Amino acid sequence: MSKQKKILLLICAFVLASLVSIILLNKSHSVNKAYITNQGEDSVSVVNLDTLKLEKKISVGKSPLGISIVNSKDIAVVGNIESQSLSIIDLKVNEVIKTIPIDATPLGIVADADGSRVFITSWFKNQVLVLSTHDLTISEAFNVGATPSGITFNEDYNLIIIANRDENTLEMYDAESFKLKKVLAVGSHPYGVSTGNHLVFSANVYDDTVSIVNLQNWEQKTIAVGMHPYSVAANQDRLFVANSQGDNITVINLNNLQEVKLLDAGETPENIAIDAINDKLVSTNWGSDSVTVYDLNTLEQIAEIKTGLQSRSFGQFIYRK
Amino acid sequence: MNKFILFLVTLIFSASILAHGPTPQKVQESVTVNVSPEKAWELVKDFGAISTWLSAAKETKIEKRGEDTYRIITLESGDKLDEKLRSTDEDLKKIRWEITKGNVPFTDFNAYMIVSKGSNDNESVIQWTARFYRVYKLNPPIPEGQDDATAKAAVQGFVDSGLAGLKKVLESK
């Protein structure tokens, strides 16, 4: 081998080694965690989705239900039903850094695209509260229809979308002016909502269906799912629905709206979130006080992990860095 | 008089589709029974047999409504409860049902029972999980007798006596 070739080979080896170490380094620095509100014991469980172990329990306010992870700010906003407050968790140290009294019952929670604002449905007062993540104060509130429950944010259309459970409607508000843009009748008792691209999904608890709304033309489709669906989550090609009384999760192909598979869940699965980076799906099981983790590619169950009493986590509860 | 008002309020709320409060209550208890899981499951899944092991259920009648199976329970008090069978899973030995109508101090009640194997082949564990809400569904202050504690105490009573009854009946067979 000529000297030049040897040098070239050495350079190649060096570059390769550097690449490998960069990849490994990134891998070891990645964070994939699920934050689970345990409504029966006033805590949030931190579940490590790499090791599949319960890492920590954090005490929060009374009866925590809703949650939203604000990735860009490294915080979680937790809504405490009975103490009528928000607990703010610093995700880097997993500690509550602030408790905000709101004089309202917080249900659904969602962050906007850059994480500067967090929107919270106020159940009894028929409002949406706006939390500024800059100073962690409620900066304003706007009125909405009755029994606002699930809430989601569509970045492309700059819309805040809420489910008005007892009115059987979805309301869509402009995320800057907070003006009502559209009200749509959906199935009976819509609770959880989510959105992706130009689609909005609502889980309609009483008629065992999911409504799919196309934001481009307001066209709507209704599909039958399992018993008492509570929440929905979608990625590019698939829709996942937690059937709280079916004890299972319906997987729908978004291209043809056919059922791909029915996944066994724990008891009373309520909420689901997708870890898109690691292709995992996590469901919270209110009845069995646990979460179930699935592989999104094989649609097989990977693990069931005990979390805490009455695990719910209504909202986007996965933190990834 | 108070009982009458409670009855009226319960009736009004159970008839309406008004919001329930956002915190579901949970009662989850289990009992170990000295019979095989198969034997225990045979009784647990028999939807019409509840009066044989729940003393508060004086009489039970099975009723078919279309595809659905209901049991109409007459309670000791004379009040009636309509319960709808939601599902029966033979593999998991799990039965699910819900209350669709009734004068009880709780609402939106659904429940399931699971029979699993105990420490040996002739031992089983029956677990009963109930999910429900209080009667008063609006913002606090909550009227007396319509709060979470009242709802929970009532369901706890049913569950405790039901599991004790199941054990007694199964072990004396």
Task: Give the ipTM of the model, two decimals please.
Answer: 0.84
Give the residue from A173, A262, A185 showing the smallest Cα distance to A222. A185
Distance from the Cα of B1 to chain A's closest Cα (Å) equals 30
C-alpha span between A99 and A115 (Å, rounded):
19
CA dihedral B102, B104, B106, B107 (to 10 degrees): 10
Question: Is A299 a residue whose pLDDT tops 60?
Answer: yes
Distance from the Cα of A239 to chain B's closest Cα (Å) equals 24
Handedness of CA A6, A7, A10, A11 (dihedral sign): negative
Q: A-B interface: how many C-beta pairs under 8 angstroms?
A: 48
A267/B23 touch (CB, cutoff 8 Å), yes or no: no
Q: Give the pairing type, strands A64-70 and A75-80.
A: antiparallel
Structure-token match 């402009």, residue found: A174
**Contact predicate B10/B119, CB 8 Å:** no
**Contact predicate A265/B124, CB 8 Å:** no
The vertex-A318 CA angle with A207 and A119, nearest 5°, equals: 70
Name every chain A residue with its beta carbon within 8 A of the beta carbon of B112: 267, 287
C-alpha span between A267 and A289 (Å, rounded):
8
C-alpha span between A157 and A199 (Å, rounded):
10
Question: Is A291 a residue whose pLDDT tops 60?
Answer: yes
pLDDT tens-place string over residues A65-123: 999 999 999 999 999 999 999 999 999 999 999 999 999 999 999 999 999 999 999 99
Name every chain B residue with its beta carbon within 8 A of the beta carbon of A41: none
Which B residues, 87 through 146, put their C-beta within 8 Å of a C-beta on chain A? 87, 94, 96, 98, 110, 112, 129, 131, 138-139
Asked if the C-beta of B22 comes within 8 angstroms of chain A's C-beta atoms, the answer is yes
Residues on chain A bordering chain B, Cβ-to-Cβ distance under 8 angstroms: 39-40, 63, 65, 81-82, 105, 107, 123-124, 146-147, 165-166, 227-228, 245-247, 267-268, 286-287, 309-310
Q: Which amino acid would we find at residue A102?
A: I
B23/A81 touch (CB, cutoff 8 Å), yes or no: yes
Q: What is the model's pLDDT at position A83? A: 94
Between B12 and A9, the higher pLDDT residue: A9
Instruction: Show the tokens assigned to A153.
Output: 């944010």
B129/A287 touch (CB, cutoff 8 Å), yes or no: yes
Instruction: Show the tokens assigned to A62.
Output: 């009374």
DSSP conformation class of B23: -
A150 to chain B: closest CA residue: B22
Asked if the C-beta of B16 comes within 8 angstroms of chain A's C-beta atoms, the answer is no
Backbone phi and psi for residue A218, each to the nearest 5 degrees, phi listed first:
60, 15
Question: Is A283 a residue whose pLDDT tops 60?
Answer: yes
Q: What is the model's pLDDT at position B18? A: 40
Distance from the Cα of B140 to chain A's closest Cα (Å) equals 10
**Contact predicate A119/A128, CB 8 Å:** yes
Q: What is the model's pLDDT at position A321? A: 87
Name every chain B residue with its beta carbon within 8 A of the beta carbon of A107: 22
B96/A287 touch (CB, cutoff 8 Å), yes or no: no
A105/B17 touch (CB, cutoff 8 Å), yes or no: no
Architecture in CATH for domain B2-16+25-56+86-172: 2-Layer Sandwich (3.30)
B19/A166 touch (CB, cutoff 8 Å), yes or no: yes
Question: Is A317 a residue whose pLDDT tops 70?
Answer: yes
Q: Which amino acid would we find at residue A73?
A: K
Q: Which of B26, B94, B96 sits opposite A40 (nearest CB)?
A: B26
B87/A227 touch (CB, cutoff 8 Å), yes or no: yes
Q: Which of B22, B86, B138 sits opposite A245 (nearest CB)?
A: B86
Distance of CA A233 to the CA centre of its chain: 8
Other residues' Cβ atoms within 10 Å of the Cβ of residue B93: 21
C-alpha span between A200 and A218 (Å, rounded):
10
C-alpha span between A181 and A172 (Å, rounded):
6
DSSP conformation class of A253: E
Q: Which of A123, A268, A310 sits opposite B22 (nearest CB)?
A: A123
Name every chain B residue with its beta carbon within 8 A of the beta carbon of A230: none
Q: Which of A82, A124, A247 sits opposite B23 (nearest CB)?
A: A82
CA separation (Å) from A241 to A12, A24, A96, A249?
Answer: 48, 35, 31, 5
C-alpha span between B58 and B77 (Å, rounded):
9
Secondary structure of residue B155 in the 3-state scheme: helix
Distance from the Cα of A21 to chain B's closest Cα (Å) equals 47
B163 confidence band (pLDDT: 50, 70, 90):
very high
Question: Is B2 a residue whose pLDDT tops 80?
Answer: no
Strands of the sheet containing A95-101, edge to edge, are A64-70, A75-80, A85-90, A95-101
pLDDT tens-place string over residues A176-216: 999 999 999 999 999 999 999 999 999 999 999 999 999 99
pLDDT tens-place string over residues A19-76: 555 455 444 458 999 999 999 999 999 999 999 999 999 999 999 999 999 999 999 9
Backbone phi and psi for residue A217, each to the nearest 5 degrees, phi listed first:
-140, 10
